[in-house]
Amino acid sequence: MNPLLETVRLIPFLINGRVSQSCSQWPLFHECQDPFQGTAPNEKQDHNHLGHKIRRQSQSQTTELKLGHYLLHEVIGSGGMGTVYLASDLCLQRQVAIKVLHDRLLSDPALHHAFLREARACAALSHPHIISIFSLEKVAGQSFLVMELAGGGNLHCRVKDEGPLPEWAVLDLGIKIASALACALGKGILHRDINPGNILFCEEENPKLADFGLAGSLQELGESDTSLWATPGYVAPEKVRGKRESFLSDLYSLAGTLYYAITGRVPFETNSVDALLLAHLHQPIPIARDARSDISQLTSDVLVRAMAKNPHSRFRDYQDFISHLAFARQQLQLPALGNQNLPSSPVLVPKQNAKKWPWYHWFLPPGLASRAT
């Protein structure tokens, strides 16, 4: 997986109020894509741990593994936080997604408690565009999340395989995911890691936001923890600077994700993570219309504003952002004058000789109305 697009743990160092440009002064800790790969320096590796059994059997791809009353079939996703498996719930006779978390993420009691608190809060979210969390379970010392299965792949793979999405589809996607974030914000929850890999599609093509709360739980360990979790390609500038996050950071990441969906490119293209993070801080905001000329100016302007370097220059709330997306979407239904390339939309033209009824006609019974005319 491209490290520029993977959720990683960053430990920024600020020198005289500015981010260091030296790789040696900006350590980058990539969590293994396989959650059971590697151990902490002073941690003894337990090859009998259930996690290692899952790892070995998933690598062999010859047998399925039973985890409680779940049967794990195959890996369908992987990232810095853990690995997601396609599984069958043997009790309820349905397919689910199971996320097995990295051992090291649960070895710290404070981290484990924060994760449990956030998982419970996210499980209380009910929204058509948020992946549902069914349960948080523990079998033989291995904690895992049981979630709703979205079998239509993720946005990153869809754009990579099929190319940029139509403008109307991107605007619809933005409206739906922004409404999901607004719902979560109403419960006091920030996502903190919005990227194309975390937007999944159901078989009915309904987009759903996944991985709620994981990065948030890790970030809230305490003021002394200077680390942050993010996907470098979509991280907000204020997060890179180590400043306090808000929903505006999620908004920036969502706008960058929509930029990718509509252009097929990440907002900033660099050769290293360090250069990419510095680009979020200092490079001009990318303009979608420059990358794809058939995009409307309205849509391009909305994305530029949502990715403003100064958080306070973005939209005041999610409803403001949704309103601008909806207005841009509405304008796509109206062809520009003189532009023959745009599809025509039906227009109701009043008849020239249509009879004009008096105002009181609509309040009269049918018999009286006919005599009144």
DSSP SS3 for 170? helix
- Compute the distance between CA of residue 50 and CA of residue 46 in angstroms, rounded to an integer: 9
- Compute the distance between CA of residue 216 and CA of residue 339 in angstroms, rounded to an integer: 47
Q: Which of 193, 211, 250, 274 is catalytic?
A: 193
Instruction: Write the CB contacts of 245 (distance below 8 Å, at least 6 apart in sequence).
Output: 190, 192, 219, 236, 238, 239
DSSP state of 314: S
Q: Which two tokens stand for residue 265?
A: 């490119």
DSSP SS3 for 134? strand
DSSP SS3 for 293? coil
Concerning whether 108 is annotated as a catalytic residue, the answer is no
- Compute the distance between CA of residue 204 and CA of residue 176 in angstroms, rounded to an integer: 14
> Half-sphere exposure of residue 328, counting CA atoms within 13 Å on the CB side?
24
Using CB atoms within 10 Å of the CB of residue 163, give its burial: 0 to 12 exposed, 13 to 18 middle, 19+ buried.
exposed
Residues serving a catalytic function are 193
